[in-house]
Amino acid sequence: MTIELYVFPPSPRAFKVMVVANHLGLDTTLRIVDLRKGQQKAPEYAALNPNMRMPTLKEGDYVLWESNAICQYLAQKRPDSGLWPEDARGRLDIARWQFWDNAHWDPACAVFAFEYLAKPLLGLGEPDMAAVAKGTEAFHRVAKVLDGQLKGKKFVTGDTLTLADFALGPAMNLAEMAHFPVEPYGEIKRWYRTLSALPVWQKTLAQCAMPTASAA
């Protein structure tokens, strides 16, 4: 049975589930939810995801939302991948970074994505520099934590690629375009260079090019 992924591909939260599915070699069908057209608010979609946000996974009658939960669901289909190990402490180490993503990293990055990318895309006017200044403070606070964690490690939890990298890396796809103040963080930049050099990362980026108006 194919796994349906409801996504707006330009979003890092869509990229996150798409890159994990690609890495695992899972058979998926992408269903485009065009946020520019408000398709997340369509009654059929809201019936799947009452938050009226994407991504959402559907496999037969089973429906799951929240990108990091979707990544866990996908990874448990390929236990040998190492993305989501069986041992409790290894798994919790990764889950801790997924929670940290939701609570701290994603919201810090989202300020820049909203001000510099979503606003022009949705015709919402100029960036609010007061919001950017507040976001810059929040970004430095979290970036210091991630940069420190990455010292002496190839990936977030050690030398193995896990769901922690797939949770935190996708936001960095926007770093340059959305002016993330990432310059002082050499470890984050080195880690992201490694991720973005993965063939599966490049393949997913190519899939995530902005859907045209007729693609929905």
| Residues at the interface with ligand GSH (CB under 6 A) | 11, 13, 35, 40, 52-55, 66-67, 102
Closer by beta carbon to ligand GSH, 49 or else 162: 49
Buried b (16+ CB within 10 A) or exposed e, 47-68: ebbeeebbbbbbbeeeebbbbb
CA 205/CA 193 separation, integer angstroms: 14
Q: Cβ(30)–Cβ(5) under 8 Å? A: yes
Q: Closest residue to ligand GSH, Cβ-based? A: 53
Cis geometry, peptide bond prior to residue 9 (ω within 30 degrees of 0): no
- Least CB distance from residue 96 to ligand GSH, whole Å? 16
- Least CB distance from residue 10 to ligand GSH, whole Å? 9
Closer by beta carbon to ligand GSH, 22 or else 67: 67
- Least CB distance from residue 196 to ligand GSH, whole Å? 19
Closer by beta carbon to ligand GSH, 66 or else 165: 66
CA 16/CA 19 separation, integer angstroms: 5
Closer by beta carbon to ligand GSH, 16 or else 23: 16
Residues 6+ apart with CB under 8 A from 190: 150
- Least CB distance from residue 50 to ligand GSH, whole Å? 12
Closer by beta carbon to ligand GSH, 76 or else 153: 76
- Least CB distance from residue 90 to ligand GSH, whole Å? 22
